[in-house]
């Protein structure tokens, strides 16, 4: 029986995925690297350091020390925080508030499984901090998406088993993480990208709790 919903944040609750990409593009340019056209497909859902390593691989001849990488990550985060400074509840993606309200009315428990260390800060700006029963701190985990750790940990914090939750993602690495945690995966975006999702909707406006619950129940039985 469905007892909880777990959400990725960037690209699911709010449109911050575009700001992550813009900040990485600026940082890459400042060190003479141009991102490949499909970079965002890889970067979505990846931790800050995994993202930086992917960018630095585009110029393999140059070697960066761990300290230099820390500095580059900090610079990207400063750029990102500037881009997201003025976010408000108007930046919650269409359909999300309605979904959260319907889920709460049904007594479902709600969690956030975001790889972003900025999640609490942004959820506060969106005035969504109090809407969730659990927000996993990615710094407490040994591995990042596509590893299942973040979805396992969030279900655990909610006090629910993997078969009792439905999880939402916009990134291929996130769907992989959900499925590795043996949870029901709702992909938001394109079917070509979100391979392995149990249900795919084109955008958050298409999320409907009744439709999703029917699919969840059909999958269990």
Of 42-50, 88-96, 97-105, 155-163: span binding ligand G6P (CB under 6 A): 42-50
Query: How many other C-beta atoms lie within 10 A of the C-beta of residue 104?
Result: 14
Closer by beta carbon to ligand G6P, 204 or else 216: 204
Of 26-34, 45-53, 126-134, 207-215: span binding ligand G6P (CB under 6 A): 45-53
Cα–Cα dist 81/19, whole Å:
9
Q: How far is the CB of 220 from ligand G6P (least distance, A)?
A: 28
Of 42-50, 74-82, 99-107, 128-136: span binding Mg ion (CB under 5 A): 42-50
Phi, psi of 31 (to 5 degrees): -110, 20
Closer by beta carbon to ligand G6P, 119 or else 209: 119
Q: Is 17 designated active site? A: no
Cα–Cα dist 55/67, whole Å:
16
Sign of CA dihedral 54, 57, 59, 61: positive
Decide if residue 43 touches ligand G6P (CB under 6 A).
yes
Task: Give me the sheet containing 134-135, strands edge to edge.
Answer: 134-135, 109-112, 4-7, 165-169, 184-188, 199-201
Q: Please check whether residue 7 is in contact with residue 113, taking contact to mean a CB–CB distance below 8 angstroms.
A: yes
Binding site for ligand G6P (CB under 6 A): 10, 17, 20, 43-48, 51, 77, 114-118
Binding site for Mg ion (CB under 5 A): 8, 10-11, 45, 170-171
Catalytic residue ranges: 8, 10
């Amino acid at each position: 029986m469905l007892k909880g919903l777990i959400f990725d944040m960037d690209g699911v609750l709010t449109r911050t995925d575009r700001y992550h990409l813009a900040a990485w593009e600026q940082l890459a340019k400042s060190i003479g690297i141009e991102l490949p056209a499909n970079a965002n497909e890889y970067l979505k859902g990846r931790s800050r350091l995994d993202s930086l390593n992917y960018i630095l691989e585009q110029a393999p001849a140059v070697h960066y020390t761990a300290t230099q990488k820390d500095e580059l990550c900090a610079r990207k985060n400063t750029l990102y925080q500037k881009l997201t400074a003025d976010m408000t509840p108007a930046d919650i993606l269409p359909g999300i508030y309605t979904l959260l309200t319907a889920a709460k009315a049904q007594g479902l428990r709600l969690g956030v499984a975001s790889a972003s260390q900025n999640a609490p800060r942004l959820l506060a700006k969106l005035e969504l901090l109090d809407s969730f029963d659990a927000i996993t701190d990615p710094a407490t985990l040994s591995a990042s998406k596509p590893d299942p750790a973040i979805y396992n940990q969030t279900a655990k914090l909610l006090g629910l088993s993997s078969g009792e939750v439905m999880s939402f993602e916009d990134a291929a690495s996130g769907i992989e993480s959900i499925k590795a945690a043996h949870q029901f995966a709702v992909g938001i975006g394109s079917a070509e990208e979100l391979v392995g999702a149990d249900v795919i909707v084109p955008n958050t406006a298409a999320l409907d709790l009744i439709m999703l619950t029917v699919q969840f129940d059909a999958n269990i039985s």
